[in-house]
Structure 1
């Protein structure tokens, strides 16, 4: 197993730039299903409404699978009442999640230009990927020799030799009309302040790279659109690899993500044989508390589960839970 943390971080940023309303995006069912985390705004009008009322109003085939309210994480039922300051996680097919964001008035179309501060390895990988999909890319890098190198290997990008913390330089290089600002310097504090400055002077999608995981609760309170933690991403990939190895010897977890800053898990189970959870209407299953079945992938068709749906052999089932240690689909049932 070989993991490239810089490439992993660049690919995560690329996903966020394609769907700028999201704080974080995880994918399941070979890319057919997305779990997106986003921050509510008062103008969306969800505050004071139940989950059931919102789903009826929007008529979108997605599920609200988790709500963060301060330090609390809730797996909501239909009667749960939302507040304007909540952070929501939704799950659904790519088409349905895009429709959901369109209906609530949040941008779902990708941005088209990016101002990147810091010309390290992540910036190199990211710029290459962005240029392939038609972005205009500008990179501000302080080291002259690094600028020369980047100019050679990514000729389609504009490389600016300068201090990315120079406010006048940022404005000269178009911060006010940038679609996205990605802070990738070697200093966490500088990345945070750069994105906060961007918040004051633009409507850009703001992304900051942070390595000091110990301060993630403080950083989350700043209201920066997305924070990239390379250590978290690397740990997720290692965990997925371990789960895949276990899957070859009997465990049926296909994919596992630690979500909501590690306070919950999203799992994808492969249903290989009949059991107590198969061929039974979901409404009749005695599920554990704080657990929600979010999607059923049946031969490539993505089903948003309702009470009358059943799980069949051959399906993959995606769920979100605050329970730990689920290694088999039967573990979702109360003992």
Structure 2
């Protein structure tokens, strides 16, 4: 595929690095030559110095035969304009990064498609949804729902009380086991496990299950004593914080602490009265204690500084907060955050990349998710009639190493897959694989 990425900022360069490993024909376009030069020459792509809203520049970049045009500059209006021009000059698919929720409303979808903007992504909104999903339950690192919750992915860290430690997976139960272990993060390594693998202390284990069996997974993970989240404290009044406050369930109480008075006033205007806005320094432990940190079940650090967020979560953990979430935009720090036992790590570059990666696939994929701390991806495929995946039971499909089928949704019902499961046309199949392997298995579904 020929892919043009407009914008050599954080999201654009992360995408370019990911996609260049896939041996795609990548052009990274930016009018700022310094940003392009800073990217370095270690990646298999072409750097193009011009404005993405210049017709002549787009033509020179070869937009007329681009399979995918991605506009991820910091300026929403430039992204929309660039996609509009690219589509009219011949690009097959376009994606624009936006920061206006109104554009995503269903009534506006046709309007943007007629203009030539085929898909819109709002990374801050996606990050906020992920935060809310992870704080709903204090014992969960990552939570992801497929087909409206018919099948659920749960990522949780194994502590001493876990019942499934040091037992080969094939001994944990027979075909009626109500969950499937699809990935294990151990130190810097990610495993797509097989029957002889065992779960060790401090592993992060990813389960798929149905809603009915969530309490069972919680029990075997040894997390029954974790408190339910009722009180949430957020450090930093960013756009992600604003969206998080708008998405939290009504039964939760939330406080947002920010040291910028004008931002606090703005938050007070746009957020519900039940959200308390506090003007102060979120790094001030005395202030946090005064505001009830010790009675808080979840602490979320969303400042623009990764180091500050990591340290703030560490401090909150030491004060007894069970659930912490840190926004870590510096990808080099994600491993460090995990080794320090920061709870959930949020990285909006990775979240945005997952959604854009979905558009590269030829098969019918409705969801792609990057597991932030694990070097693994999850994809939800819709099975077509006659596709290879329907020909044999799962155990005889010859799936490559590093890939597992976590479950499927059939007629709205979640099903945990076993080796004898025969996949049918119309099923929604949830596949887990090591990072960037999705492209290698899509032929099973198309």
Describe the superposition over 1:50-84 as per-residue Cα deviations: whole angstroms up to 9, x where unpaired: 1133346xx75110111122222222122212211
Report whether the alignment pairs 1:330 with 2:444.
yes
One of 387, 392, 395 as aligned partner of 1:283? 395
CA distance in 1, matches of 2:137, 2:128: 15
> Which stretch of the first structure deviates more once superposed, 295-304 or 222-231?
295-304
Q: Is the 8 A contact 1:269 1:329 kept in 2?
A: no
Q: Which residue of 1 aligns with 2:309?
A: 191
Cα distance change of structure 1 residues 225 and 302 upon mapping to structure 2, 3 Å threshold: same
Gaps of 5+ in 2: 1-118
Describe the superposition over 1:25-53 as per-residue Cα deviations: whole angstroms up to 9, x where unpaired: 23323432222222111221433211133
Q: Which residue of 1 aligns with 2:375?
A: 263
Q: Is the 8 A contact 2:231 2:254 kept in 1?
A: yes
Q: Which residue of 2 aligns with 1:17?
A: 135
SS at match of 1:140: strand
Q: Is the 8 A contact 1:252 1:329 kept in 2?
A: no
SS at match of 1:169: helix
Report whether the alignment pairs 1:231 with 2:379.
no
CA distance in 1, matches of 2:376, 2:290: 43
Report whether the alignment pairs 1:84 with 2:201.
yes
SS at match of 1:195: helix
CA distance in 2, matches of 1:27, 1:86: 22
Q: Which residue of 1 aligns with 2:180?
A: 63
Q: Which residue of 2 aligns with 1:253?
A: 365
SS at match of 1:274: coil
Q: Is the 8 A contact 2:151 2:415 kept in 1?
A: no
Cα distance change of structure 1 residues 158 and 258 upon mapping to structure 2, 3 Å threshold: closer
Q: Is the 8 A contact 1:25 1:34 kept in 2?
A: yes
Q: Which structure has more RCO (C-alpha within 8 Å, separation ≥ 6)?
A: 1
Deviation >4 Å, runs of 4+:
107-110
Q: Which is higher, the Rg of structure 1 or of structure 2?
A: 2
CA distance in 1, matches of 2:289, 2:376: 40
Cα distance change of structure 1 residues 329 and 303 upon mapping to structure 2, 3 Å threshold: farther
Q: Which residue of 1 aligns with 2:90?
A: none
SS at match of 1:307: coil
CA distance in 2, matches of 1:235, 1:147: 31
The structural deviation recorded for 1:21 is: 1.7
Cα distance change of structure 1 residues 275 and 145 upon mapping to structure 2, 3 Å threshold: closer
- Give the total of aligned pairs: 323
- List aligned pairs for 1:48-127, cutoff 5 A: 48-55=166-173, 60-107=177-224, 110-127=228-245
Q: Is the 8 A contact 2:162 2:222 kept in 1?
A: yes
Report whether the alignment pairs 1:212 with 2:324.
no
> Which stretch of the first structure deviates more once superposed, 5-14 or 317-326?
317-326
The structural deviation recorded for 1:193 is: 1.0
Aligned CA RMSD, in angstroms, stands at 2.3
> Which stretch of the first structure deviates more once superposed, 88-97 or 323-332?
323-332
Q: Is the 8 A contact 2:387 2:445 kept in 1?
A: no
Cα distance change of structure 1 residues 331 and 148 upon mapping to structure 2, 3 Å threshold: closer
The structural deviation recorded for 1:206 is: 0.5
Q: Which residue of 1 aligns with 2:44?
A: none
SS at match of 1:216: helix
Q: Which residue of 2 aligns with 1:321?
A: 433
Q: Is the 8 A contact 1:18 1:109 kept in 2?
A: no
Cα distance change of structure 1 residues 109 and 95 upon mapping to structure 2, 3 Å threshold: farther
Q: Is the 8 A contact 2:183 2:192 kept in 1?
A: yes
Q: Which residue of 1 aligns with 2:23?
A: none
Describe the superposition over 1:157-187 as per-residue Cα deviations: whole angstroms up to 9, x where unpaired: 2221111111111111111110111111222
SS at match of 2:405: strand
> Which stretch of the first structure deviates more once superposed, 18-27 or 194-203?
18-27
Q: Which residue of 2 aligns with 1:311?
A: 423
CA distance in 2, matches of 1:256, 1:79: 28
Cα distance change of structure 1 residues 286 and 232 upon mapping to structure 2, 3 Å threshold: closer
Q: Which residue of 2 aligns with 1:147?
A: 264
